[in-house]
């Protein structure tokens, strides 16, 4: 499953337990066979009153949930989609491939993934974050694909998400004042960062050493009090940088 949460105004997004392509697309024979087996089980067992399969599916979604919670999830599955629609959605989830498109996304992104997730491999989330040019990856400890409010990972998720979305609360005037402390070269570097360029691409574009770019980036982050690249991009765009 893929969940994307858009931020208020900076064109940024947040994903949780997401992936670049489904199991039917270049994911290995084992994962493809598993996804195909699940598709057949959904088609045969989804709509039955005796929800043995749905409860097994719920166990994969929330292995640390209690019996009552898992039965509730199983019944929710039955009521929310017909067997045919559930199978169709499952096949679509496992057939898409957005690797080419993801590499073009310049917006800041925050990617979460639960380390012990049984539904979507942890490495799939890490690969997504590595492909998005301006993404930060936040691993969450646990096994639940659907987070519970009483587990430690939920608090980390909530705090990181609130901080990420809070980046948009900065006003244009605030951003302009912060940029006033930068040198002309640092503003130039920040402008390129806001366009989604990597340090190597900036070095090539400006005909300077990548180490020099890295030093400038560190100075920019320090002056803007930015903890990561996504935050610097939001500040830059608020001040009008990074636009064609």
* Cα distance between residue 88 and residue 82, in whole Å: 10
Q: Per-residue pLDDT for 204 more than 90?
A: yes
Amino acid 232: pLDDT: 84
3-state secondary structure 110-168: EEEEECCCCCCCHHHHHHHHHHCCCEEEEEECCCCCCCCCCCHHHHHHHHHHHHHHHHH
For residue 8, what pLDDT band results from cuts at 50, 70 and 90? very low
* Cα distance between residue 20 and residue 51, in whole Å: 31
Three-class SS of residue 7? coil
Maximum CA extent, the chain: 68
Work out the angle at residue 152's Cα, subtended by the Cα atoms of residues 149 and 154, and round it to the nearest 5 degrees. Answer: 45
pLDDT, tens digit (0-9, with 9 covering 90-100), for 107-129:
888 999 999 998 888 999 999 99
Asked whether the beta carbons of 19 and 2 are under 8 A apart, the reply is: yes
Asked whether the beta carbons of 9 and 168 are under 8 A apart, the reply is: yes
Asked whether the beta carbons of 23 and 35 are under 8 A apart, the reply is: yes
Beta-bridge partner residues of 3: 16
Say which residues have a Cβ less than 8 Å from residue 145's Cβ, sequence separation at least 6.
1, 17, 60, 61, 62, 114, 117, 118, 119, 120
Domains of the chain, CATH where assigned: 3-20+98-168 (3.40.50.1820), 171-238 (1.10.10.10)
* Cα distance between residue 35 and residue 29, in whole Å: 10
pLDDT, tens digit (0-9, with 9 covering 90-100), for 168-190:
555 556 666 778 889 999 999 99
Q: Per-residue pLDDT for 234 more than 70?
A: yes
Read off the pTM: 0.63
């Amino acid at each position: 499953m893929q969940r994307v949460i858009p931020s208020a105004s900076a064109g940024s997004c947040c994903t949780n337990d997401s992936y670049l392509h489904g199991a039917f697309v270049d994911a290995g024979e084992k994962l493809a066979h598993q996804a195909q087996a699940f598709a057949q089980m959904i088609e045969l067992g989804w709509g039955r009153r005796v929800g043995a399969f749905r409860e097994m599916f719920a166990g994969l979604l929330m292995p640390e949930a209690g019996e009552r919670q898992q039965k509730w999830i199983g019944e929710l599955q039955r009521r929310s989609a017909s067997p045919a629609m559930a199978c169709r959605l499952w096949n679509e989830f496992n057939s898409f491939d957005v690797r080419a498109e993801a590499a073009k996304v310049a917006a800041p992104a925050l990617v979460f993934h639960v380390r012990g997730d049984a539904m979507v491999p942890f490495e799939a989330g890490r690969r997504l974050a590595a492909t998005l040019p301006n993404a930060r990856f936040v691993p969450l400890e646990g096994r639940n694909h659907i987070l519970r409010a009483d587990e430690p990972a939920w608090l980390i998720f909530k705090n990181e998400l609130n901080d990420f979305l809070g980046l948009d609360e900065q006003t244009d005037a605030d951003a302009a004042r912060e940029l006033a402390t930068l040198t002309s070269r640092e503003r130039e570097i920040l402008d390129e960062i806001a366009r989604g360029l990597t340090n190597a691409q900036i070095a090539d574009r400006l005909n300077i050493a990548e180490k020099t770019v890295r030093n400038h980036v560190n100075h920019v982050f320090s002056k803007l009090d930015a903890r990561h690249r996504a935050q610097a991009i939001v500040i830059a765009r608020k001040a009008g940088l990074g636009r064609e």
